Structures are given as structure tokens and as C-alpha cells.
Structure 1
Amino acid sequence: MLGWVAGVAWQLQQPEVWPLAVYASLVAVGLLGLCLRVRLAWLLAGLALAVGTCGWRAQHRLADRLDPQLEGVDIAVVGRIASLPSRSPLGEVFQFAVERASQDGAPRALPARLQLSWYRQERAADDARGDGAPTTNGGSVQAGETWAFTVRLKRPHGSLNPHGFDREAWLWQHGIGATGYVRAGVRDPVPERVSGAPWWTVDRWRQRIVQRIDHELGERPAAGVLAALAVGDQSAIDRPDWDLFRATGVAHLMAISGLHITGFAWLATALVGVLWRQVARRWPALARHWPRSRATAWGGVGLAAAYAVLAGWGVPAQRTVLMLALVVGLRLGLRRWPWPALWLTVMAVVLALDPWAWLSAGFWLSFVAVAILFAGDPGQAAGEGRYSAFRRWLAPLMGLLREQWLMTLALAPLSLVLFGQVSVVGLVANLVAIPWVTLVVTPLAIGGVVVPWVWHWAAGAVDALGAGLQWLASWPWAVWTRPVAPMPLALAAVVGGALLALRLPPLWRAAGALLLVPALVQTPWRPDPGQVEVMALDVGQGSAVLVRTAHHALVFDAGPRWNPEADAGDRIVLPLLRSLGVRPDLIMISHRDSDHAGGAQALRDAFPEAQWRSSYDDDAEHHCLAGQQWTWDGVRFDVLHPSPSDYARPGMSTNAMSCVLRVTAGEHSAWLTGDIPAAQEVPLALARPDWRATLLLAPHHGSASSSSPVLLNTLRPQQVIVQSGYRNRFGHPAEVVVARYEARGINWVATPQCGAATWRSDQPDRVRCEREVGRRYWHWRD
């Protein structure tokens, strides 16, 4: 089992997959190794089998991706809605299992599973992610239904930034070979519902339950929590609620976890026991053949498995059901395994079913938590007769307190590694929330499936819990954040947390405390005095740049707003700043266009103490003005545009009013240009013909209206970074602009192919691409 787990972990680190022949050879070697009765041979055999089978599956999944020639063209598809639709005021997103596809009447091979968006209203969206304008949605899909659509697709692609969410890994894990949107405009074929969902499909029942909850509770926020607890639909929980649950450390309770499955199994076992008594009275022979202890145990496991499937069969649910089944099997067989063997077996089975579950945070939190509980179990029964009645009554409460203390202590380092924050109030919040959610909210949420009016009681229980969590979250130090530690320090901290939590001698616990120290006190890397780092973030079709000196930081632009509920400032820029331990001294927004200013409010709310500059603020005191200059740590900053006369000139476009910032470190300089067109570039270049630029942030994302020959000939940049969206509808960067760069020998990169692009003044001849750092075989490549 250990060899299998290690083999999966190793294969997932590969930047490229090997040929199928190599994986087949490894499988053959592994099978031969199993024939040897030597433990080391079995360990190596498990390793070879895991690498071989996982690599073979990866090869087939890579082959199931969209053909690049089919990107951006209209394709007719017929298939099944393969997930619960995630709905918002803008439309819905769902997974789609393709049955057949054609283009202009000719059959086409598509990936087996797509992720599609169907928008409710005409909007020029996808500015940020690129594929053209989605169109009007006149209907609503149901899980399990068969539909005929006209779609436009693109290969799996997502923004890639340091310590950020890896969307491409998420798509890979869910087997999605292409993403796209439904074409439903006036000139497109009308989407057609071909057939309804079969009655036996699990997703159909899950969606019906979600709809009944919505119908019963209306717009009450608690409806989302109840949908998550009843059927595992976490998308129903609003973003502010998730923020509250994370801040108070109870987010694990708002999804189907091992705690919920175990509690349900306990109730199910009791129910089966009651029913079995009736069966035994009517059919005594059956009861003798199938004893009550066996029937109740396996009945509880079976019903728990059914609940786990209804809840979406996530990693925590898989782990719990497998663990319950293994424990029941061992106990009924009068066998006893040490907990590491039990734990490792379940992990190996989960990874055999889905090797890429290893990539999810839920996998690690789930298995680490169970390991700590196993290892920390004192092995004493709470109800032993030698204890007084009061001690027996108090034991469950003390057990809950101890388990929660173990979890808080052991998982705090892992939470810092995965999320960059720890809830300081989490211990207090969980002491109340765990019994409340497990014993009150979850049973009521499930009971409402049978008696819908019970959901009103459940909603009241959620509201009461939410009020208490709001109070805890309002404490000044409710959440503790730390920069992301380097991997060796992070692993040491996780081990240290485990040693502290376990029942070990004081010397071992002291060693655990020492292992925590480096990760907690480490100082993130910063440029040396007199040097500067410029990081152009990958935010799709938009711009956001982080500039760092030895002790200061500036954010130039904040990325696009994708919809009323999501923007790059909140989803990309803020997580990056927190992971790096950066609090910006100055936020400068070049101009008011949404692709540059969409995330600005999120940054202003998060860093109210930061200075603010823009070209559109109502307060002239906050305007960026040519001539403004300052020096941080030996690095000079000069605002070059707009001038005071530009603010007084009527009819100036927002692009023409873009702030232009020049950052100079010694002999090297970086120009951040916003969206200025050629009409503003030329005067800037001619005003100081002696100016040079080592790095140029491509004006207006590489539009044909910018990057004029005069600007390029004057500045003579060595490096150019183009911030644009993958397959964006504007065609950025324009071919004519790329030709200008290449004709002058300028090294240029674009964020769709590079990810976040980082330039440093002490290494001026190169731009580091995030896609080349930690590349994995599932990442997009040209």
C-alpha cells in the first residue's frame, strides 16, 4: 500500500507524461514483483504499478482533450447534463457528457466531458477569459436531461499565478477536456431539450432536493448551507458565507465530511437494528442465518454509502465509507489491524479510484485529520465501570474538547500551507459548531427531504449559528495570516504540528514545537536595496502588476471584473499579496476601464491604509500627475502621464488618460503604460529621446493602436510583457505589433502562454514564466 501511494505521488510530479510503452513496462514489472514473497519487492512492485497505471490513465485523459482546430468554431452537440448546474443571476454553468457532435454536418470527435456556460442575458463578457460574447439563455437545464446545443469551445486553460488556484488542475481532476459556452443568439439554432432525466439518476434526485429547498426557503441564505449538507451542493453557499466559515474555521462542517457520514451511519445502524427486530420476529430462520450484529453493521455502512453518493461522493465521503466498511469487516471477522495499516489501505483505495484526488486540499485535510485522531486516541473507553456516573456523563464532552484541540493543533500548520491563514477562534467556534451542525442542523437538513417544513427549523438553526460566528469573526485577531513558507519549512511545520498533537513524551513534543518555528518566523524574499521586482499577474484580459522593492510595494491596476460577484482583485491579486506577505504602500489604477479597475474596490477595502492614485478619482488630490516622483529603497518612481492639462481637456478617452509609471533601478527601468494609444505614446517618447526601457508592459495589451514604432525605437526595450486573455475576442496581441517586436529583436511573452511573468532588475535579461515553474503534464501548452 505504501508503494502504491508513493507511486501515485511520484507520477503526479511529472512535467511530461512518458510513452505508453514505458508505463506498460512498469505495470509488467510490478506484476512480476508481486509474485516474490519479499516485502521490499512488494513495495517496489506497488510503486511500479502505481506509476504505470496512473501514467497510462493520464495518457488517455490527455488524448481526450479538444483538438486545437476545433477551438472557437460553432459545433452542434447532443449529450447529457452531467452535474448539478451552478446558477447565478448571469446564467448557469454545468458539466456536459457528449454523446455526438458535428460541424457543418460532418461528425467531430469531442472530449467525453465538457464544462459549459449558458448565460441568461446578452453581454460582452468573457473580456477577461476570452472566447467572444456569450448569448441569451431562455431556459433552464436539469441534471440528467439530454440537450442539443450549438457551442463554442476552447482547450482547458486558466490563469496561473504564484500560490494561486490552479484551475487547469481542477479541470483535469474532474475529467473536463474542453470548456465553452452555449450559442443561443437570434441567428443561432435554438437549444433543444431532447429528453428528460431518467428517474434513477442520482444527480436528478440531488437537483430535485435542491429545488425543493429553494422553493421552501426562498431567498434565505441558509438555503445554500442546507443544500450543501443534504446533497453536497457547495455552489449554493454564497461567497460571503464561505468567507465567514473560513474565518471561523468551520468551513469543513458546511460540506459533507467524515463527521456527517459517521453520524449518519450511527443513526442508520440504530434504524436498521429496530427494523431487524421486526424481521427477526417474522422470519426467524433469516435472523439465525444473518445475525443482528452483522445486519445492523452492514446496513449502517450501506445506508452511509448511499448518503455519500447522494452527497456527491467527494474524497471525505469516500474515505469515511471505505474506513467504515473496512472496520466493520475486520471486527466481524474478529481481526484487528494497526491504525497505520487501516489508514494507508483506505488512502490507497481512494487513490486507485481517483489518483488525482491527491491534488485537492480536501484529500489532505481529511486524511491528516483522521491520522491524528487515530494516533491521539488514548485507547480508553469512556464508559468504563470504574468511573463515577458524573465522569461517564462528562466523558463525551471531554472527548469532543480533546479531539477538537488535537485537530486545531495538528491542522493549523497544514491550513497555513494550503490556505495561508489559520482561524484563531476556530477552537471555540468548532466546540459549538460541531455538535450543533452534526446533531441538529444536518439531521434536520436530511429530515426535510421527507418532511419539507422541517427545513424551516434547520434554517433557523443555521441562522442562530451564523449570528454566533459573525460575533467571533468580528474579533480583531480572529484570523491569523502568514506568508506561504518554502516547501521544506512547510513540511517541517506539518510534522511539528502532528508531533505536538500526539500523546508523545515531552521531548518529542518539544521537537515538534521547534519544527514549527522556522515556518512561523520566516521572512519572504524581497529584492535587495536598490533593486526592483515587477510581476505582471495572469488575470486574463486585463492588467494587474505588483512592484516590490526591499521594503515597499505598489499595485498597478487591479485586474478585470468578470461579473457582479467576482473580480480579479478579490480572486487573484489579494490571495497573491497575502501569500507573499505584502501590504501595498500605494495602489495606482491607470484608468477606469473595467479590465484595469474591476478589482480596485476589493483592494481598497482590504488595504484602507494604502495610498491611492488614479486618473479618474473625483478628488484631484488622488490623481496621478506627470511630474510626481518618489524613491523607495534606492528605486526611483516617476509618473509620466497624464499632465494637468490632460485633465482639463474635454473629450479625452479613458485609454488616453492612462497613468504611465516609470520605475528605475540603477541602469534598468520598467515602463507600466496602462492602455495609452499611439497619440499619447509619441509625445512621451519624443519628450526624452535619451530614455530607455529594459522592460515594457505592452500598452493596451498589445493592441494595434499602441506599441507605435516611435515608442519602440526610442525606448528600445529588451523585454515586453503582454497581459491578455487566452483566445480573447480582441485578437490581442495584434499580429502587426508582434511583428514590430520581433523585427527589433525584442524578447516578448504573453500571459496566456507564460502565466504570471516576473522581471527583476538584478536579472534584467530574462522574464520568469510561472508556467515553467512547477509545470505538470496537465497544464496547457501551445
Structure 2
Amino acid sequence: MRLGMIALCGGLLCLRFLPQLPATGVLLMLAVLGAVLLGSRLYPLGLFLLGLAWGCGSAQLALDDRLPVELDGQTLWLQGRVAGLPEEGAGVVRFYLEQAESRRAQLPQRLRLSWYDPPALVAGEVWRLAVRLKRPRGQVNPHAFDYEAWLTARRIGATGTVKAGERLDVAEGPAGWRDSLRHRLLAVDARGREGTLAALVLGDGSGLSDVDWQILQATGTVHLLVISGQHVALLGGLLYALVLGLFRLGWWPRQWPWLPFACGLAMLGALGYGLLAGFEVPVQRACAMLAVLLLWRWRFRHLGVWLPLLVALSLVLLAEPLASLQPGFWLSFAAVALLAWCFSGRLGPPAGWQMLLRAQWAMALGLLPLLLALGLPVSASGPLANLLAVPWVGIAVVPLALLGTLLLPLSGVGSGLLWLAGTQLELLFALLAWLAELAPAVQLAAAPGWAVLLGGLGMLLTLLPVGIPVRLFGVLMVLPLLSPPVEPVPAGQAEVHVLDVGQGLAVLVRTRGHVVLYDAGPAARGFDSGAKVVLPTLRGLGVRQLDLLLLSHADQDHAGGAAALLAGLPVARLLSGEAPALQLPRVAEACRDGERWQWDGVQFTTWFWDAAGNANDASCLLLVEAQGERLLLTGDIGVAGERHLLGSGHDLRADWLLAAHHGSRSSSSAGFVAAVAPQAVVFSRSWLNSFGHPHPSVVARYRAAGARLHDTASDGALRIQLGRRVALLSERGESRFWREK
């Protein structure tokens, strides 16, 4: 039985690692072969094939439900119902729309939309909207968040921006009730923690500020303050413990068997909490795991502790095979497995704080390989923060918050309890902020696969009971994971990463011992590329400091992410073509025309027009030359700036050229293209951007010059090995079945 479930889960989990999905005919063959093998000794292989076929078939349905290609970037009038709680913040509301219909086309079942400066929007309402729709597509960078995988896991068939809309029907059903409850929670006095209470009670994290998120991430406590599987299990555990406590005190009716009542009450409480939170996929996963665990505790405890975990894993993956695309899926099951590994088979269960200490120790060590494999930060203060916050939130805050919410109709009673819960949260956040400052989270360099597997095995050995000799070998096996080998750049060469930051620019240049970042990506309402894309990518690549941050000019699409980078990494020198116009906590040096220096055998030169008549032409240019191969980064200079360069006497020839101003027709004049004579041109821009970049005339001009064209919107982040004269590498070239081509 266990072997069969392991095989089934293995087939379902294979989906996560497939570069592309098999054809329908192949899936049918796999399913038929798997069904035939079920009646033989090879039944585990049959279950594996059935799991693989089921997972791939489910994923194909999600891909087939995407917006048709011919509608990509088109604006349609459609109508549908708002699903879930709209996420409000920074003047923009993001929400799901279901049951969407349009006269012009068949639409996906679920859309994720953004509406800037919207009217009041309530869950459950029906709206008629004018929406510019796009197929699910996101920025693709090494070691950064995979937005396309996130959309696919939630079966979102299109994203879009609302241009106009009108309400057709008021909210109704559970969705409207949850939204009204959210507004009631936000209206109470909870010491400024009303948004945090809404996160705990309803799973609505939009009320948490950016500072709150930073504190939670730095201390590894995000899972505690937004409804997750842990909250569901926690409430179920509290209700189970309540019945058990009454039984042990002799206050439970003798004619009622306590165990089935404890299990049933725990399950009902978990389901009620899950419905209150909208019963999203993580909560569904937690309810399934808790149901299997309670059933095992009631009837099947003699079968061992690993069986319920396997059953729960099988049920979750069969219900939603795409769950494996979400980091939370791996972390939740890994956490439960680690607890089983640490506490099963011991001579006796530890008591009280000793159990909590051992659990936090297991989580801190055991999840480290998985966190690094998923590209997530590791919190140095996490074990201590969780040791204090887990019982604090579980025993004090959550019961007060839920009871206060339940008693809101009683004047003064519910609001008083919520005030007490808010006070507890205010104290907790003060403590977490102190811990975050004392020991902030770090994102280690990405480790190779062999180091992750070796480190994971080493962690399991380390967590064995005290006295087992192999624990020492486990510690040694973890060392490559903590200090992963980073392949150095050869002397005289440069490694260049043109990051995929949408309608903006960020270019990383690494030599053997120095790092330069040219521009920092855009920052707009609700999204800072510097914090969300550039900084995680740099850390994942092993960059711990910048020798030079060169901001070509002060426009937000080039300098918007600079503040986050200055806060997140040491920067030795800050340089810009528009130094006085930058609004940063640090003063930048002014770019100088003709400044030259050499690092590790690579030559750097800046060019600048100090009499430029506008911000774009004031861009500071950077020329990088490695073993005769040249790269020219041009910022946003226009035709006037190019004309100045042509008359300056500089040698403009370059093998690689970053097209100025994202390929705008106001740049890339014929004379400039002829003078540079690039062999390859890179456009940095967003997919289907509203500016029409790159302009067709510019594309035609470069093609006529014989240049190869590359584009971050279609290729993702690009890697150029300057000094080797080889073809570049693209992140989107690494196939994943969920990625748009």
C-alpha cells in the first residue's frame, strides 16, 4: 500500500519538472498501460504512470483554458462576478473575475485583473468591464519569483487591466458576506492592527503594510500572520486539546466517547475556519491533511505515522496536480514530514517547551535545503521568532480574533476582544521588528542540484536522535549548501545579465572580482522591481555588494528600484547622468565624459553629454570591452544625443548594443546604427507595452544592418559572456511547460 502511494505521488510530482507536456495520444497510452499494470506485480509502475497521466492531463486543461493568442493585448467588453476578496493597496485593486463572458470570444474561466484608481469593489458583485487582456505571462529571471508558474497553479487563464466598468448586480452569497465582514473588521479599533486581524481571520493580506511584510519575511513568520495550513491545523488542535482536557479533568460526559468527539469537533472547526478564509487551495490542502490525520488518530493509529502523510499527499495531488508548482505545497508537506521524522520512533514524547524547541530546531535546519532550492530567503532570527510567536499567535491572538469576530453583533463584546487581539499583535510586531533588525533574513547564493540533495540528506542525518554517530557526517554534508561553489568569471572576461524587468532597464556586469549594475529597474504603484526582481536575482547569483551602481538618468523606469538596492546591498560608488534629480537617501556622483578604468582586465568607459537638453539625452552611457569584444549601454538617449556622440570623436563600434530608449523611434538613427555597426542588439521592454516598443522602423533598421535581435519580453533575462564571442543564453530558453514562448 505504501509503495503504491509513493509511486502514485512520484508520477504526480513529475509534472513539476517537465519541460513540456506530452501529446494527448501519449497520455492516453500511458494511462492505458498504467491501468493494465495494476493487475500485475508491476502495479507500482502502473500507479506511477497513472499519476503522471492524470497530472499532465489536468495541466493541459489549464493551458487550454488560456486566452486565445489572437486576443492577446486586445481590449474587450466583458462581464463576470468578482471572486474572492479584492486586494487593495497603493491606489490599485487586484481581483479575480469568474464566469466571464464576452460577445466577441470565449474567455477563460478565471481572470486576474488590475484596476487603477477604481470605484468601490466588493466580492460577489457582477460587473461589466472594458479590459485589456493578456495571456498569462511574467518576467523570467534567474532565482527570482516565477509569476507564470504562480498564475498557472491558480488556473488563471488571462490577466488584464480594467479601463472602465459599471456594476450590474450587487454582492450576494458567501463572497459578499466575507467582504462585508472584512469592512467591519477594518472599522474596529484594534490599536492600528485592523489589517492584520483581517489577515488572520479572513486571509486578506492586503491590509498589511510593506514594513509589516518586511518584518515578517525577515523573521520567517509570514505563515503566522496570513491564514495558512498552520492556522487551520492550529485551530483543529486547540479544539481537540479542549475535549481532551475536559476528559482528563473528569468534566466530559462519561457516556460520550471523547476521541471521536475530539476528532469531529477539530474537523468542524477547521472547515469553518477554512470557509471563513475563502477555502483557497492552501486551506483545502490543510483541511485534507488534518482530516486524514484525525481519521488516523481515531481508527488507524496502528498503521504508523507515515501512512496519513502519504494519503494526504496523494489526495491533495489528485485533487489539484498543479499544487506542486507552489512553494507552499513543498514547505507544508516537508514541515509535517520533518516533524514525523524527529518525533516518531523516539523512546518517549518530549513535554511542553522541550517539544516546541525541538520542533523549531527541526524546522530551522530541515527546511534550509528546500528554502535554498526554491530561492527563498533564510531567516537567522526565524527559530527564535517562531519559538515565541507560534504559541503567542496560536494561544492568545487567534482565539481572541475568532471569538471577537463571532461576537461582533454583541455591542462592545466583540470589539473589545478584537482590541485585545490587536494589542497582542502590536506587542508581537514590536518584538519581531527588534529581531528583524538584530538578525535579518538573507538569501544565499543558489546552490547546484547535487549540493541541495546532499544537504537535504545531511539535514536528515543531523536530526537523528542524539548519540547516533552518523550525525557528524550529516553536518559535513550540509557545508556545500551553506557555501555553494560559485563559478568565477575568467580574468579578462565579463559576464553580463540583461535582466527582464519589464518596461525598464537593469544590466548586471560581473568581472572576476568586481560587480557593476547599470540601472535598477522600474518602480510603480504596488511593485518595485528593485526589491522584487533585481535584488533577489543578484543575491541568487552570489552578489553580496556592488562596486558601482550606475543610474543612466533619473526616470523611474531606470532608477525606480535604486532605493531598494541601496537598502539591500552595500554599494561602493553611486554614479548618474542626472545626479541632482535623483531622490535617494544617498547623493550620487555626476557622470563624466571619457572616464576610463580597468577591472580584472576588462575596460570600462563612460560617455556623457553635459549640455543635453532633456533627461533622456542626459543618460550616462557605459562601454564595456573584454578581450576586444565590446558592449555599449545607451540608457534613453535620443537622436540629438546620438548626433552629439557621432561628432564627439569617440569610437562607437560595438559588438553588442543595448537599443536606446527600449527601441523607441526617437532613437536609433540611421547614422548612429551605421557608426556602431552592432552584430547583436538587445531590446529591454515589457510584453505588449502601451508605447509600441520597439518601433517597427527601428527593428527594420537594425535588421537591415545585419544585426541579430534579442528581446527581454520574448526571451526573458539574457546572459552575454563578453570576451568569448559566443551566442547569448536566455532564461525563457530553459523550457517549462507553463511558460509562454
TM-score range, shorter chain: over 0.9
Q: Is it true that 1:462 corresponds to 2:425 in the alignment?
A: yes
Shift of 1:316: 5.1
Q: 1:112–1:677: structure 2 CA closer, same or farther, 3 Å change rule? A: same
CA distance in 2, matches of 1:442, 1:621: 47
Q: Distance in 2 between the 1:272 and 1:81 partners?
A: 40
Q: 2:129 aligns with which of 134, 141, 149?
A: 149
Higher mean displacement: 723-732 or 507-516: 507-516
Equivalent residues in 2 for 1:27-46, closer than 5 Å: 27-36=31-40, 38=41, 41-46=42-47
- 2:531 equivalent to 1:570: yes
Match of 1:133 in 2: none
> What is the aligned-residue RMSD (CA, Å)?
2.6
**Alignment match, 2:183:** 211
| CA spacing shift, 1:560–1:480, aligned 2, 3 Å | closer
- The alpha-carbon deviation at position 603 of structure 1 amounts to 1.8
CA offsets per residue over residues 132-167 of structure 1, 9 Å max, x none? xxxxx2x22211222221222111111110001111
Change (3 A) 1:205 1:268: farther
Q: Is residue 733 of structure 2 the alignment partner of residue 772 of structure 1?
A: yes
Q: How far apart in 2 are the matches of 1:432 and 1:493?
A: 27
**Partner residue in 2 for 1:540:** 502
Alpha-carbon distance in structure 2 between the residues aligned to 1:621 and 1:689: 25
Does the CA contact (< 8 Å) of 2:574 and 2:588 recur in 1? no
- Go from structure 1 to structure 2 and tell me whether the alpha carbon gap of 1:547 and 1:681 turns closer, same or farther (over 3 Å shift): same
Residue in 2 that maps onto 1:159: 139
CA displacement, residues 162-194 of structure 1 (integer Å, 9 cap, x when unaligned): 00111111111111111112222xxxxxx3322
| 1:602 is the counterpart of 2:564 | yes
Q: 1:691 to 1:77 in 2, by over 3 A?
A: closer
TM-aligned CA distance change 1:589 to 1:69, over 3 Å: same
Pair 1:671-2:645 in alignment = no
Of 236, 239, 262, 2:210 maps to 239
User: With structure 2 as the length reference, what TM-score do the two structures score?
Assistant: 0.92
Cα separation, 2, equivalents of 1:616 and 1:523:
38
For 1:24-59, what per-residue CA distance to the aligned partner results, in whole angstroms no more than 9, with x for missing partners? 2211222222223x2xx2211121111111211222
Q: Name the structure 2 match of 1:628.
A: 595
Q: Is the 8 A contact 1:230 1:311 kept in 2?
A: yes
2:167 paired residue number: 193
The whole-number CA distance in structure 1 between the counterparts of 2:528 and 2:572 is 20
SS of the aligned residue for 2:303 comes to: coil
1:529 aligned residue (491, 504, 510): 491
Answer with 322-331 or 699-708: which moved more: 322-331
Task: Note the C-alpha offset of 1:270.
Answer: 6.4
Q: Give distance in 2, aligned partners of 1:271 and 1:486.
A: 47
Letter in 2 for 1:66: L
SS of the residue aligned with 1:527?
A: coil
Cα distance in 2, alignment partners of residues 576 and 679 from structure 1: 34
The superposition leaves residues 483-519 of structure 1 with CA deviations (integer Å, 9 ceiling, x where unpaired) of 1111221222222222212327533212211211112
Q: Taking structure 1 as reference, are residues 209 and 499 closer, same or farther at Cα in structure 2, changes over 3 Å only?
A: farther
CA-CA distance at 1:463 after TM superposition: 0.6
Amino acid at match of 1:160: V
C-alpha contact 1:721 1:748 (8 A) present in aligned 2: yes
Mark the CA change 1:341 to 1:681 in structure 2 (over 3 Å): closer, same or farther: same
Q: Is the Cα–Cα contact under 8 Å of residues 420 and 484 in structure 1 kept in the other structure?
A: no
* Deviation of the 1:729 alpha carbon: 1.1
Instruction: Please tell me the residue identity of whatever aligns with 1:637.
Output: F
> Could you tell me which amino acid in structure 1 is paired with residue 224 of structure 2?
L
Distance 1:301 1:667, change over 3 A: same
TM-superposed CA distance for 1:196, in Å, is: 2.7
Counterpart code for 2:368: A
Give CA-to-partner distance per residue, 1:452-511, whole Å, 9 cap, x none.
311111110011011111222222x44344211112212222222222123275332122
1:170 paired with 2:150, answer yes
Counterpart in the other structure of 1:386: none
Q: CA offsets, 1:249-293, max 9 Å, x none? A: 2222123344422331134346779999xxx99xx9xx98x8553
Q: 1:140 aligns with which of 102, 113, 120?
A: 120
Q: 1-side partners of 2:305 and 2:405: how far apart?
A: 36
Q: Deviations over 1:715-766 (max 9, x none)?
A: 2111111001111111111101111121122111111101011111144241
Query: Structure 1 residues 208, 494: closer, same or farther in 2, change over 3 A?
Result: farther
Cα distance in 1 for partners of 2:71, 2:441 equals 47
* Residue 195 of structure 1: how far off its partner (Å): 2.2
- Match of residue 132 from structure 1: none
Q: 1:547 to 1:436 in 2, by over 3 A?
A: same
| 8 Å CA contact retained: 2:578, 2:619 | no
Residues 100-142 of structure 1 show CA distances to partners (whole Å, capped at 9, x for unaligned) of 2124xxxx2111111111221xxxxxxxxxxxxxxxx2x2221
1:735 is aligned to: 696
Identical aligned pairs, as a percentage?
Answer: 38
> Comparing 543-552 with 24-33, which one deviates more in the overlay?
24-33
The Cα shift of 1:380 comes to: 6.5
Determine which of 514, 526, 540 is the counterpart of 2:476: 514
Supply the distance in 1 between the matched residues of 2:36 and 2:137 (Cα, whole angstroms). Answer: 40
Is residue 2:64 matched to residue 1:101?
A: no
Matched, 1:445 2:445: no
Q: Work out the CA distance in 2 between the residues paired with 1:264 and 1:689.
A: 70
Matched, 1:112 2:109: yes
User: Does 2:368 correspond to 1:412?
Assistant: yes
Q: Which runs of 5+ in 1 are unaligned?
A: 121-136, 185-190, 384-393
Partner in structure 2 of residue 503 of structure 1: 465
SS of residue paired to 2:502: coil
CA distance in 2, matches of 1:516, 1:621: 41
Instruction: Give the alignment partner of residue 264 of structure 1, picking from 199, 213, 235.
Output: 235
Q: Which moved more, 1:717-726 or 1:484-493?
A: 484-493
Shift of 1:80: 1.0
Q: Distance in 2 between matches of 1:769 and 1:613?
A: 28
Partners of 2:96 and 2:111 within 8 A in 1: yes
Report the CA distance shift for 1:144/1:588 in structure 2 as closer, same or farther (over 3 A): same
Structure 1 moving runs of 4+ over 6 Å: 270-276, 380-383
Structure 2 CA distance, aligned partners of 1:532 and 1:76? 49
Amino acid at match of 2:706: G
Does residue 1:343 correspond to 2:314, yes or no?
A: no
Q: Does 1:683 align with 2:649?
A: no
Please state if 1:697 is matched with 2:671.
no
Offset of 1:425 from its aligned partner? 2.0
1:70 aligned residue: 71
Shift in Å, 1:228: 1.9
Structure 1 residue 608: Cα displacement? 4.9
Offset, 1:367: 1.1
Does 298-307 or 546-555 show the bigger shift? 298-307
- Name the structure 2 match of 1:364: 330
* Equivalent pairs, count: 721
- Report the counterpart of residue 199 of structure 2 in structure 1: 228
Q: 1:298 deviation in Å?
A: 2.0
Residue 252 (structure 1) aligned with residue 223 (structure 2):
yes
Q: Decide whether aligned partners of structure 1 residues 6 and 378 sit closer, same or farther in structure 2, where only a CA change above 3 A counts.
A: closer
One of 416, 437, 451 as aligned partner of 1:474: 437
Ranges in structure 2 where 5+ consecutive residues have no aligned partner: 408-413, 582-586
2:295 is matched with which residue? 329
1:399-438 equivalences under 5 Å are 399-438=355-394
Cα deviation for residue 302 of structure 1 reads: 2.5
Deviations 1:314-344 (A, max 9, x none): 5654444333322332343355222233222
Measure, in 2, the Cα distance between the counterparts of 1:79 and 1:316: 25
Partner of residue 353 from structure 1, selected from 290, 298, 319: 319
Whole-angstrom distance in 1 between the partners of 2:546 and 2:242: 58
Name the CA distance, whole Å, in 2 between partners of 1:336 and 1:317. Answer: 28
Shift of 1:666: 1.4
Conservation of the 8 A alpha-carbon contact between 1:268 and 1:304: no
